[in-house]
Amino acid sequence: MIKSHHFSAILPVNKTAFNWQKTDFIEVLKNAADTAELTVIGEVSFAFQPQGVSAVILLAESHIALHFWPEESKVTIDIHICDYQKDNLQKAQFLTQIITQEFSSCEYLNNWHYLSVSG
């Protein structure tokens, strides 16, 4: 049986993100994944006109997806981490903390929704 952990959040974004390019969003996500000891295996990003960015990091354990909404001063984040061969819940939780610190000044636990999936 494979178990997975799905975290999602809509976070108010720090003003520094307004100066970032799409590559900056990718680097923040990759660094967060590395710090949480997850395995980055791919990446893609897109800058919308006139504004906004979507970025996805593909992980050996699943993915991190981000959408930056500058007109709302928000970022939406979806994290899905599988437990294939080991329990990765602590890594996923640590990743939510890191990402919250990078993008927002809010209290991280109050903004993340968690769903555990077994199958």
DSSP code of residue 15:
G
Rounded mean pLDDT of 54-73?
A: 96
| Nearest-10 Cα torsion for 109, 56, 40, 9 | 10
Per the model's pLDDT, the better-predicted residue between 71 and 84 turns out to be 71
Q: Which residues pair with 69 in a beta bridge?
A: 74
Q: What is the pLDDT of residues 44-54, one digit of tens each?
A: 999 999 999 99
Surface-to-core class of residue 89, CB atoms within 10 Å of its CB (0-12 exposed, 13-18 middle, 19+ buried): middle
Catalytic positions: 62, 67, 82
Ramachandran area for residue 37 (φ above 0: left; ψ -120 to 50: alpha; else beta): left
Residue 72 has pLDDT above 70, yes or no: yes
